[in-house]
Amino acid sequence: MTETDDALQRLENAAQRQATEEQATKALSLARCRLVLGKDAKSAFFATLALRLKLEVMWEADTLATDGKRLVFNPDFINQFSLEEHISLVAHEVMHNALAHHARRGQRDKARWNVAADLAVNPLLIDAGFTLPEGGCIPGDGQYTDLPNGKSAEEYYALLPGESGEENDGEGPCPDPGGCGGVMDPGDGSPAACKEAEANAAVAVSQAERVAKQRGDLPGGIARLVEQVLEPQVDWREILRAFISRFARNDYSWAHPNRRFIHHGLYLPGLRSEELGDVVLAVDTSGSIGREELNRFAAEAEGILQAYECTLTILYHDASIQHVHTWGPTDGPLVLEPKGGGGTDHRPVFEWIAEQSIDLACLVCLTDLESSFPQEPPAYPVLWATVGAGQAKAPFGAQVEVE
């Protein structure tokens, strides 16, 4: 081949490449337009979120992917599908963004995370009437027959068989074993960038929901997703940790000098928060709290209290105090062994505390709230850690459901 022929071939390849890119870009743009022109709430929701994404060609991508701001795509992949499938592919990426999958990967394997994220969103899309390309990851189907429906990406990631990375059949920036579109880390992938991206996703979902409501009701699965995004459940462990830690005593200690002044030659006492005082845990032994809940709660409480100089007094009670046990962070694993089992009355708990000369930091009550309570709240802080309490409300103090 002559130099002229080689140059002409390069020009022809470049022209073909540009034509392929333009075809794919037009196809995805048309898919977004179809969503915009839709008359129902579903179309409005997905259109609002899809229009936030900038279309960008990425030949090294396996399929298409999003980082919350862009919708990158491999033109050859896009051009093999129909318009309805293009709409579904866009909706697939929108769902990833709505659930902030691009911001929640952490240190997990990229390809395995994409599979888990697909397992979380694909059933919702199918139920909403979208037509996904064949071969997508569906719980209960194909190689995922044993996986249940309705789990989060984190839960599916843990349920996937084999070692992390086993399913990684893509070496590019956004591997997509599921073949329906994947996710990429936002920005530089730092924790700060991911936190910002997750917050932006919640704002975007809120805006899309408001637009969708003007056209009716969202499909059931999508509506529940929106509710979870806008009103996420707070982990009871975080509330327990924050509640107990809040009452740690801050004191100054020469054993921990303030580092901010050392380079000036000044040794000043540093602030430390290691003393908690006495914590009382009242365990309802009426029989409604099972062994699993007790073990889980004990493990979490032990992990928190190990960080402090404190004494934990455990009151096992039903309608009266049945047993009193004292535990400290150096006493080994915290094990809850209930004694008693009749009806429940919390008044003896508060009466017992009033009779003791203890330096109480806070009271935590593990209960189903089927009980009698004092008429007046105490002066010290109280947290009701409820199990199977349904809609029952504590008469005072803070409340968190232990799941």
The dihedral formed by the CA atoms of 20, 22, 25 and 29, expressed in degrees to the nearest 10 = -140
Angle at 373 between CA 368 and CA 378, to 5 degrees: 115
- Residue 265 to residue 252: CA distance in whole angstroms: 19
- Are 351 and 315 spatial neighbours (Cβ–Cβ below 8 Å)? no
CATH number of 237-401: 3.40.50
Q: Quick one: DSSP state of residue 103?
A: G
* Strand-pair category, 249-257 with 321-327: unpaired
10 Å CB burial of residue 287 (0-12, 13-18, 19+) is: middle
CA 373 remoteness from chain centre: 35
pLDDT at res. 275 = 64
Which amino acid would we find at residue 151? K
pLDDT tens-digit readout, 66-82: 999 999 999 999 999 99
10 Å CB burial of residue 151 (0-12, 13-18, 19+) is: middle
Q: For the chain, 403 residues long, give each residue's pLDDT as a single digit of tens.
A: 677 777 778 888 889 999 999 999 999 999 999 999 999 999 999 999 999 999 999 999 999 999 999 999 999 999 999 999 999 999 999 999 999 999 999 889 999 999 999 999 999 999 999 999 888 999 999 899 999 998 999 999 999 986 444 444 445 678 899 999 999 999 999 988 998 998 899 889 989 998 999 999 999 889 888 887 776 666 777 778 778 777 765 544 445 454 444 555 554 544 444 567 788 999 998 766 778 888 888 888 887 787 777 788 999 998 899 999 998 888 888 888 887 777 789 999 999 999 997 878 889 999 888 889 999 989 888 989 888 756 678 899 888 888 7
Q: Quick one: DSSP state of residue 256?
A: E
pLDDT tens-digit readout, 199-257: 899 889 989 998 999 999 999 889 888 887 776 666 777 778 778 777 765 544 445 45
Instruction: Give the residue from 385, 380, 378 showing the smallest Cα distance to 399.
Output: 385
Nearby residues of 373 by Cβ (< 8 Å), 6 or more positions away: 346, 347, 394, 395, 396
280 phi, psi to nearest 5 deg: -110, 130
Q: Quick one: tokens of 4?
A: 């002229």
Q: Quick one: tokens of 305?
A: 């209290």
The per-residue b/e assignment along 342-373, b for 16 or more CB within 10 angstroms, e otherwise, is eebbbebbbebbeeeeeebbbbbbbbbbebeb
- Residue 86 to residue 83: CA distance in whole angstroms: 5
- Are 394 and 369 spatial neighbours (Cβ–Cβ below 8 Å)? yes
- Are 402 and 366 spatial neighbours (Cβ–Cβ below 8 Å)? yes
pTM tops 0.85, yes or no = no
Q: Quick one: tokens of 350?
A: 């508060």
Instruction: Give the residue from 59, 48, 68, 49 showing the smallest Cα distance to 25.
Output: 59
Instruction: Give the residue from 359, 356, 364, 360 showing the smallest Cα distance to 334.
Output: 364
DSSP SS3 for 182: strand
- Residue 128 to residue 221: CA distance in whole angstroms: 8
Helix (H) or strand (E) holding 180: none
What residue segments make up the domains of the chain, in order of their start?
Answer: 3-232, 237-401
322 phi, psi to nearest 5 deg: -100, -30
Beta strand extents in 168-248 (DSSP E only) = 182-183
- Are 128 and 79 spatial neighbours (Cβ–Cβ below 8 Å)? no
- Residue 391 to residue 226: CA distance in whole angstroms: 22
